[in-house]
Amino acid sequence: MKAISTQAVHAGRGDLRRLGVHAPPLDLSTTYPLEDLDRATADLDEAVAGRIPGGSPVYARLHNPTVGRFETALATLEMTEASVAFGSGMAAMSACLLAAGSRGSHIVAVRPLYGTTDHLLSSGLLCGEVSWAEADRVAEAIRLDTGLVIMETPANPTLNLVDIRSVVRQAGSVPVLVDSTFATPILQQPAELGASYVMHSATKFLGGHGDVIAGVVATDEARARELRQVRLMTGGLLHPLGAYLLHRGLATLPVRVERAQESAIRLAVRLKDHPAVESVRFPGLSWASAPAWQRAQMRGPGALIAFELKGGYQAASALMGAVRLMTPAVSLGSVDTLIQHPAGLTHRVMTAADRDQCGIGDGLLRLSVGLEDPDDLWQDLLNGFAAAEMTGKSRALA
């Protein structure tokens, strides 16, 4: 078994030498000329059964070789048999809910989750009843008609960590989906801990450059077949250009994640000591004293930091407006540092009461640390703190 940094560079490129090319070919075909009807019919049958056709893709909604190479590469990094790519993280989540529906429509979910995932589950659009459970109370929530357990670690936006192995044990025979977007396969491999589905918004760290919307689910071959069947019927495809860019981005994923994480550690320590900051949520601040499962589950704390400002909404808004180097924007995992306000943006679709319960306050900001120099980032934050303090003073005078 080769190291993950080696796999990141080489996985999914097994056919390139035979093809006589160095970069993976970008196949934009929507349909494929068929040499022989019998053979094409057999290929079509394979695809309808959820398998990858051995001959022609027949039609691009059934299979695309550029997307297939990215899927092979991501499965290698997640140490699963297969992965299935979709047009967005939410399309990937939807496909998992549709596939799980055939086992049972009741869902058990551990909060907090990504805002739109929470919204999708609460809406009942693609599932039946949802039981929200604390991570250590999952077992009690499981019913005969439970089709899926959904959890996220580190969780968005509070960076709560959930013990994957414990949730899997409590779920028994019910499959567990882990949204591993914040961790990437560089920091954790949930399938090794028993997760049935490892889901990513590939829009984030996997793509890494803020130019592709995509989702992917790493799983075993039997579940991958179900997901390919859902994709074929519902059409939530990843465009081959997106897959090409994602595959290209995977090569630098280990370097990007490690470097951003190093900077995040430095920034979190300084944030913790800043007088304008009420609290910092970053798993790296207490890594040495963290429970054993946490250190076994994750190789590092990642590059996301959430921090609560003493000045509440006004201070958070002023800081977000004053930064010049960081991009005030939702999303995360890009080469540039992004800062956003969860209560006002990513988690706005939740009710205020649910936000409160998850610890998403009005003074909370979420920072996705990028590849800039950490000292430059800190200077940008100091300017932001100064602006926040000014609004506080002017309000006090008014």
Ligand X SMILES: *Cc1c(COP(=O)(O)O)cnc(C)c1O
Which one is catalytic: 114, 223, 244, 256? Answer: 114
The residue (of 64 and 156) whose beta carbon lies closer to ligand X is 156
Minimum distance from CB of 309 to ligand X (Å)? 22
Sign of the dihedral through C-alpha 309, 340, 270, 357: positive
374 CB-near residues (< 8 Å, 6+ apart): 262, 263, 266, 267
H helix runs in the chain, sequence order: 4-10, 16-19, 37-48, 65-78, 89-101, 115-123, 138-141, 164-171, 184-187, 221-234, 240-250, 253-273, 292-297, 312-322, 352-358, 374-397
- Footprint of ligand X on this chain (CB under 6 A)? 88-90, 114, 116-117, 152, 156, 179, 181, 201, 203-204, 213, 215
Query: Could you tell me if 198 and 217 are in contact, meaning their C-beta atoms sit under 8 angstroms apart?
Result: yes
User: Is 145 annotated in the active site?
Assistant: no
**126 DSSP assignment:** S
| d(C-alpha 217, C-alpha 246), whole Å | 14
User: Is 204 annotated in the active site?
Assistant: yes
Minimum distance from CB of 46 to ligand X (Å)? 29
Helices H / strands E in the chain, number of each: 16, 12
The residue (of 156 and 158) whose beta carbon lies closer to ligand X is 156
| d(C-alpha 247, C-alpha 263), whole Å | 25
The residue (of 13 and 366) whose beta carbon lies closer to ligand X is 366
Query: Position of tokens 């929530």?
Result: 141
Minimum distance from CB of 336 to ligand X (Å)? 16
Phi, psi (deg, nearest 5) at residue 132: -85, 125
User: Is 310 annotated in the active site?
Assistant: no
The residue (of 116 and 383) whose beta carbon lies closer to ligand X is 116
Which one is catalytic: 13, 69, 204, 281? Answer: 204
* Terminal Cα-to-Cα distance of the chain (whole angstroms): 65
Minimum distance from CB of 369 to ligand X (Å)? 15
The residue (of 242 and 311) whose beta carbon lies closer to ligand X is 242
User: Is 179 annotated in the active site?
Assistant: yes
Which one is catalytic: 39, 51, 61, 248? Answer: 61
Which one is catalytic: 43, 118, 179, 362? Answer: 179
Minimum distance from CB of 304 to ligand X (Å)? 9
41 CB-near residues (< 8 Å, 6+ apart): none
Report the residue closest to ligand X, judged by CB: 89
Q: So which residues are the catalytic ones?
A: 61, 114, 179, 204
